[in-house]
Structure formats: C-alpha cells, structure tokens
Structure 1
Amino acid sequence: MNILISGGSGFLGSAFSYELQRRYQEMSKDLQITWLTRDSNQAHPSDITMMTYDELASSDTNFDVILNLAGAGIADARWSDARKAQLLASRMKPTESLLSFIARSSVKPQLLVSGSAIGWYGNQGDKPLTESSGFQADFAHQLCDDWEKLARQATESGVAVALVRTGVVIHPTGGMLSKLLTPFKMGVGGQLGNGQQIMSWISRDDWVSAVIFIIEQHLNDTTHHINEDTQAARHTTSNKDVTIYNLTAPNPVTNHIFTKTLGAWLHRPTFFTLPEFLLKLMFGEMSTLLIDGQKVLPQALLDAGFEFKHQTLKEALEQQVIKE
C-alpha cells in the first residue's frame, strides 16, 4: 500500500504511521508512507518519505489511500475572530490541495480518510448521538461541517470518502491528557463546572486501530459499497461513496468520573473544582469545549465489527506509561 498523510508528524499521524509500519512488517507486505509537509527540512524517520505541498501540486505519484489530518488544535488558543479564521484555513487549505491532486491524478486513490471531530454534533447534553444523529449549530459544528463538505468533493473524482469524527484522544504524550498531567500530579486537579457534562473519549491505540480497520474495510471492498445488512456504516448521507465514523469508545463518562478515574490512576487527590463562570472568564467562547458535554457513540464501528481494546477509561489509562 502507498499512503499519503497530511499531518503525519502530529500526535495522531505519527502513531498511526508507526503502527501501520509494524503491522505490515509482521505480514511481510509492502508499504510506503509519505508525509505531506510545508517544511521541506522537517525532521522525519528515514523510512518515511516527505513531500511538500508544492511538490504535491506537480506530483504524478499514485497513492492507494490519503489520510487527511492537517489542522490547528481547536483547544490550543482562545477563539478570537483571527483564531477562528486560522482554525478554518488550517483545515481547508490542505484539503483543497489534496482535492486538486486527486482531480488531476490519472490513477485515483481508492479512499480519502478525512479528519473531523465530534464537535460536528454541537452541544446536545447527555443525548446519545450516533452517525445518524443531527446537530446543534455552533462554531465547532460549523468548523467541522465546512471541513467535511469540502472533503466530500473527492467523490466527484470517483474517490470514496470516510469522514472520521474524533472524540477526546487519551494518551499521556499529547492531547488533553498531556495538559492535565502536571496539575493532577501536583494534586490540584479537579472537575470542571458541575462535572456532569459527558466526555466522549477514545484511547490513541484504539483510534489508530480504528482508522486502519476503516482503510482495510474499504480496500477489501473494491466497489466501496458496504452490505447494509451486516455493516451499517453509512449514515446521514445521500452519497453512497461517503461513510461517517465516530471515533469514540463505547463508554463515555462524565467529567466527574473522568476526574476521579484520572486521580486514582495517578494516586492523587481531586478536591478542586473550576466553576463554570471562571472557565468562561478564562477561555471565553472556547469554554464550551469544557462545559458542554456530548455523548457520542461509535455505532458505525460497532456495526462493522470493530473490537475496542480499551472499552473503559480505566482500562485505557492503565495501559499508559507516564514519566514521573
């Protein structure tokens, strides 16, 4: 397999790349991974090829799969108007480059896996949400929806699209957990607001395995059509070449339970609480990511037969190794 990854050196892209390499080596199967980058001098493993966006614009390389993960972190900075524009551009511009490449390629990829987030559903409290659920309009929804609509255009070139809506990814080297480790280790960790907001999470190992599973499902199905009697992975779309997957574990938890579970894992107390008004003062509109919950379930993955390694948050944390 020859795969092109935008955002390949990031928290998710790098873990995906290394696990895919490991599996293909075990099976003695050929694999070529290319990371798409804006910096031609970016450090990278010797067994991974680098390609700049300028090189992509003139490349005639044939890729079997494209994995689109580029995009600035939605929770990395306060949502000013300038930051909102940056968040959108960091997703749209790389996707536009990939679509241009796909459109002019004589041999099309079999699949575009394009990143998104469970923010697409908006704030819906503790209502169970699957791939067939609707949305509540807010900034996070609009950001995800604009990105997804653009990615869907690959079908106009005859390329199947899998949209992966990712929840909170659990791993100590990145994402939300890495930011929480220091205060929790210091014994000043605690719940956010009333702690009843639902957090839909997934371990990074399961995220990686799920994306590999999705790719294999599509590559093994040359017509890109999933038998709806056995694999109900097509939801909320009129286009038979677009599939949607929620990349979340089957057992979301409240922020209160997350706090207590993380504290127990670290053997630290969790007495503190950050009240809602203070979170709004500190983070502005972005505080919705911390205050408002989403109970998002991975129905498409479960229907397709994917097996989660980490069914519970406790299991996911216990598999992690952290440096004191």
Structure 2
Amino acid sequence: MRILVAGASGLIGTALSSTLRDSGHDVASLVRRPPASPAEFQWDPAAGRIDDTALKGADAVINLSGAGIGDRPWTRGRINELSASRLGPTRTLTTAMRRMDNPPPVFLSQSASGYYGNAGQAVLRENAPAGSGVLARICADWEAAAQEAPAGVRVVTARTGVVLSRSGGALGRLLPLLRLGVGGPLGNGRQYWPWITLPDVAGAFNFLLTAPLAGPVNVCAPESADVNSLISRLAESLHRPALMRVPAPVLRLVMGQLANELLLASQRMEPAALAGAGFQWQHPSLAQATAWVAARS
C-alpha cells in the first residue's frame, strides 16, 4: 500500500513509519519545510494549504498531527493551540480529499482517551459517551473533523491511551525519576490510565489499515491498570522503589487544570473493537509492557 502520514516525525509517527516500511508499505510524509526527498510533500495546515499530489495514488492517509498535550502549561492561548493544531490539519486533509475524483479509501485519524473525560471506574468501550472538559471537547471536535472525509472513505478515529516507550512520550519525565528511585504514584493512584506500548500502538495502526473497522477504536492494551499498579510495576522492573507519592493538591498547584485532566482523570478503557477484529498485542499484560520499557536497548 502507498500510505501518506501526517505527523510522521513524532514519537508515534516515527515508530509507525518504520513499522509500515518493515511491512512492505510505501510511506510518504507531509512536512512543513521544503521537501528533502521524493517521499516528502510540503503543506501548511494552519493556512489550509497542501500539495494535492501527495494524496494522488495513496491507499490510506494517517493523521497524527497535534501539539503535545502536556508539554506546556494550559494557558488560554495554549488550549487554543492544542485545538487548532488538531482541527487545522484534519480539515486540510479532508478538504483535499473532497477535491479528488478518487480519494484515498482509508483515513486513520488519531484521537485520544481524553474523549471520555474523567469516567471513574466505569469500563469504557467505543460506544461510551464523551466526557466533559478541555480534552473531551477537543477530541470530540477532532473526531467530527475527521468524519468530514468524502463519502466512501473508511474513517477510523483511534482513541489512543498513554503510550509507554523507553524514552520520550508520557513517561519521558517520569522514567528518569523512577530509575533514580525517587518517583512514585500521582494523586491517590486509583485513577485508571489506559496504556499501550509504542510497538503495539504502531502495530495497531498498521492493523487498522485493512481491518474491517470504522468509527472510534480504543487503542490500548487489554489489561487495565490504575496508576498505583502501573508505577509499582515499572519500578519493580527497574529494581527501584516507588515511594514518593505526589499528592493531588500539589499537582493541581503546580499544573492547574492540566493535572486534573491529564494526570488525575480516570479512563478504564477497553479495546473492544481491536480485540473483536483479532488484533494481537506484543505486550498485552502490564508485566510484559513494563519489562519491555525497562529493558536497555
């Protein structure tokens, strides 16, 4: 398949592009700078501009664009940027598809577990309603923008959980602390984080290119875990203690609204659609995942 990737330089995009090429696919990417190779095409999603030749002959488009959720404090300007950096690229892609006589038949557009808001202990399958809050609103708008693709395009909105990697991503700041033995759970630790390893999220997107699925798909591991379990397992795999709990009031004082929605919210997500379609995880259990994360390259 010829696959066009937006957001190919990020954590997921880099791993996914490698996985796709290893699977024999022809991968092209969208870049904001001048193209450096025939496999790159320039676009300016903030202005709605794209080189339409990028989509010609593509069998699928994968949209991973979006500013980092936890990279900076959530000022009003930053929240607007988080939204615009997702809606702008998505609408640029769907508008370009609508200009084509034969648009790519598959559009995989990333969403996030934040769609569900703070859902407590409830098990969240794909038919669960949207939650409330900044992330839930952004994700709902993001998914609606993806559904603006032309009729006949199979649209999948991948609600990705916390991606566990050996460096960067959600654990980028936490892993070094755990390696030093000075990390610990966040808040009371009873909130659920839907997690998935980086190889499995890349594998899931590869699987979704041909799987008979459309609409929202929860992209997480089949084993659910609260933060207490996740942190203790990681620390155990690193042979370190994890005793320095950070209380919720401290997190709120330092991080404000971002703490409530990103660190303290609970989403007990279940990958019902992926499991039903026959996806096979490399790291289905938390024990396997944390052993992979802790392993040295």
Unaligned runs of 5+ in 2: none
Post-superposition shift, 1:96? 1.6
Contact 1:2 1:63 in 2 (8 A): yes
> Could you tell me which residue of structure 1 aligns to residue 265 of structure 2?
292
- Taking only the aligned residue pairs, the percentage that are identical comes to 34
> Could you tell me which residue of structure 1 aligns to residue 232 of structure 2?
260
> Aligned AA for 2:111?
S
Post-superposition shift, 1:193? 1.1
Out of 189, 201, 223, the position equivalent to 1:195 is 189
Query: Secondary structure in 2 aligned to 1:245?
Result: strand
Query: Secondary structure in 2 aligned to 1:274?
Result: coil
Post-superposition shift, 1:157? 4.1
Contact 2:41 2:51 in 1 (8 A): no
1:36 aligns with 2:30: yes
Contact 1:53 1:97 in 2 (8 A): no
Output aligned runs, 1:65-84, within 5 Å: 65-84=60-79
Task: Write the distance in 2 (CA, Å) between the matches of 1:188 and 1:275.
Answer: 14
Query: Secondary structure in 2 aligned to 1:315?
Result: helix
CA deviation vs aligned residue, 1:79-123 (integer Å, no higher than 9, x gap): 110000000111111112111210111221011000000110111
> Could you tell me which residue of structure 2 aligns to residue 270 of structure 1?
242
Task: Tell me the TM-score normalised to structure 1 length.
Answer: 0.85
Output aligned runs, 1:16-31, within 5 Å: 16-24=16-24, 31=25
> Aligned AA for 2:9?
S
Query: Secondary structure in 2 aligned to 1:83?
Result: helix
Task: Write the distance in 2 (CA, Å) between the matches of 1:271 and 1:197.
Answer: 17
Task: Write the distance in 1 (CA, Å) between the matches of 2:127 and 2:82.
Answer: 26
> Could you tell me which residue of structure 2 aligns to residue 3 of structure 1?
3
Task: Write the distance in 1 (CA, Å) between the matches of 2:197 and 2:116.
Answer: 20
Output aligned runs, 1:90-239, within 5 Å: 90-154=85-149, 156-218=150-212, 233=213
Contact 1:125 1:197 in 2 (8 A): yes
> Aligned AA for 2:220?
T
> Could you tell me which residue of structure 1 aligns to residue 41 of structure 2?
51
CA deviation vs aligned residue, 1:211-236 (integer Å, no higher than 9, x gap): 11111225xxxxxxxxxxxxxx5xxx
CA deviation vs aligned residue, 1:53-79 (integer Å, no higher than 9, x gap): 158344262211000000011111111
Distance 1:111 1:58, change over 3 A: closer
Contact 2:158 2:217 in 1 (8 A): yes
CA deviation vs aligned residue, 1:291-317 (integer Å, no higher than 9, x gap): 121100000011111122211122012
Post-superposition shift, 1:186? 1.6
Task: Write the distance in 2 (CA, Å) between the matches of 1:105 and 1:165.
Answer: 27
Unaligned runs of 5+ in 1: 25-30, 219-232, 234-241
Task: Write the distance in 1 (CA, Å) between the matches of 2:292 and 2:135.
Answer: 31
> Could you tell me which residue of structure 1 aligns to residue 278 of structure 2?
305
Post-superposition shift, 1:41? 5.8
CA deviation vs aligned residue, 1:228-283 (integer Å, no higher than 9, x gap): xxxxx5xxxxxxxx422100111111111111111111111111111110000011
Distance 1:76 1:165, change over 3 A: same
> Could you tell me which residue of structure 2 aligns to residue 247 of structure 1?
219
> Could you tell me which residue of structure 2 aligns to residue 224 of structure 1?
none
> Aligned AA for 2:202?
V
Post-superposition shift, 1:321? 5.8
Contact 1:263 1:269 in 2 (8 A): yes
Contact 1:130 1:296 in 2 (8 A): yes
> Aligned AA for 1:50?
E
Task: Write the distance in 1 (CA, Å) between the matches of 2:252 and 2:69.
Answer: 16
Task: Tell me the TM-score normalised to structure 2 length.
Answer: 0.93
Aligned length: 291
> Aligned AA for 2:174?
L
> Aligned AA for 1:19?
T
Question: What RMSD, in angstroms, separates the aligned Cα atoms of the two structures?
Answer: 1.8
Post-superposition shift, 1:138? 1.1
